């Protein structure tokens, strides 16, 4: 077993899945890292982590985590398919967070394999072996929002994502729905994460949250934060709206579904309250102790037809399933993120 000194934790709870091994894919990624840390904080270390670390700095997210083993994706799939299966431990659940999360990814075949095919393979294995399966869907499946943000099964087949990333997630939702995996005797659960922000997203480059990007811009040069202008008359510059979710809440929802294997379905993970980019950036300035200084710049033409101007999760289905914990407000989440992670990290990097 691997041990380190510190664990990043979230809210208090008790993990009920003990004894067997739990798999977390995408474990060195943003939500994955925070999920493993929270499992550790709840006393669970019998974990098999799956991720491809590559040559970047994502490996640093593993610092502070406790687990049994870490293997790359291909090796895990080999074991799933029977090559080296004797080395595969007895598994009680899979939290599948490993995927390409870049909404701008153009390689459709890569997304088809990495997001849809990978998820389908793990789901089928979990169904055959009686393991709980919780996977990451996405709010990107909702497309332009013209049909709203309702996670009811009757709406899912009607959705039209705006990019291949969203479509790759939508494909699996449709496949699982068609095959009855949300409502059979051993149901699976999907999580439609809205705009998640928080610690350990540093490696995501351009896919980092605007909270992270804004904090960096505030600390550089004239301290000015750049936001996209609106190219639709009904929205003023910076007044485009999103449902922003603190990663601690995203983890809590994910693990609640893991701990309640009788619950099936695909569920929105959002606050149910839409806020503007101006609200978000103003909160970052406030947490940093500085006055707002925002500049609005043209949105690249390549994004304009695929840009969501408004998202707001409908939380009714999740609440009806029994999830009762309130979501963190935007101001409280950003304050916690800045004070407990971004500012200390910036100080360390200064030397």
Closest to 245 measured CA to CA, from 159, 164, 318, 302: 318
Closest CA to 291 of 300, 299, 282: 282
149 is annotated as an active-site residue = no
User: Considering 204, 213, 229, 317, which one is annotated as catalytic?
Assistant: 204
126 vs 31, 91, 98, 104, CA distance in Å?
A: 21, 9, 16, 30
- How far is Cα 326 from Cα 97, in angstroms, rounded to an integer? 23
Place of tokens 């705006």: 162
**Catalytically annotated residue among 118, 165, 193, 200:** 165
C-beta of residue 91 within 8 angstroms of C-beta of residue 18 = no
Determine the Cα–Cα distance for residues 142 and 156; give it in Å rounded to an integer. 9
8-state DSSP, 89: P
Q: How many CB atoms lie within 10 A of CB 62?
A: 18
- Beta strands per DSSP E along the chain: 21-25, 47-50, 69-71, 91-96, 132-138, 189-193, 195-197, 225-228, 241-242, 244-246, 265-269, 275-276, 294-297
Residue 243 phi, psi dihedral angles, 5° rounding = -95, 105
Cβ(309)–Cβ(232) below 8 Å: yes
**Annotation says 248 is catalytic:** no
Q: Cite the active site residues.
A: 165, 204
């Amino acid at each position: 077993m691997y041990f380190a000194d510190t664990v990043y934790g979230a809210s208090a709870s008790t993990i009920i899945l003990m004894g067997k091994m739990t798999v977390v894919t995408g474990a060195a990624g943003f939500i994955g890292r925070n999920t493993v840390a929270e499992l550790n904080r709840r006393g669970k270390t019998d974990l098999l982590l799956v991720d491809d670390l590559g040559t970047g700095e994502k490996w640093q997210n593993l610092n502070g985590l406790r687990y049994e083993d870490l293997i790359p994706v291909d090796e895990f799939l080999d074991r799933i398919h029977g090559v080296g299966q004797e080395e595969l431990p007895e598994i009680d659940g899979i939290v599948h967070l490993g995927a390409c999360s870049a909404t701008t990814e153009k390689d459709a075949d890569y997304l088809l394999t990495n997001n849809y095919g990978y998820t389908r393979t793990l789901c089928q294995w979990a169904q055959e072996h009686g393991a709980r399966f919780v996977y990451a869907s996405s709010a990107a499946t909702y497309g332009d929002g013209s049909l709203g943000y309702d996670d009811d099964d009757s709406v899912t087949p009607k959705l039209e994502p705006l990019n291949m990333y969203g479509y790759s997630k939508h494909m699996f939702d449709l496949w699982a729905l068609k095959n009855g995996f949300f409502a059979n005797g051993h149901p699976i659960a999907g999580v439609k994460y809205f705009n998640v922000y928080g610690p350990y997203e540093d490696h995501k480059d351009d896919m980092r949250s605007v909270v992270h990007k804004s904090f960096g811009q505030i600390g550089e040069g004239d301290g000015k934060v750049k936001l996209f202008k609106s190219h639709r008359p009904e929205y003023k510059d910076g007044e485009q709206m999103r449902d922003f979710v603190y990663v601690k809440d995203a983890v809590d929802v994910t693990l609640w579904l893991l701990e309640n294997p009788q619950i099936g379905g695909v569920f929105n993970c959002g606050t149910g309250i839409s806020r503007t980019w101006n609200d978000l950036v103003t909160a970052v300035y406030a947490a940093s102790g500085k006055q707002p200084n925002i500049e609005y710049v043209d949105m690249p033409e390549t994004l304009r037809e695929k840009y969501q101007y408004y998202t707001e999760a409908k939380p009714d289905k999740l609440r009806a399933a029994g999830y009762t914990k309130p979501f963190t407000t935007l101001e409280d989440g950003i304050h916690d993120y800045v004070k407990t992670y971004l500012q200390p990290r910036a100080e360390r990097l200064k030397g």
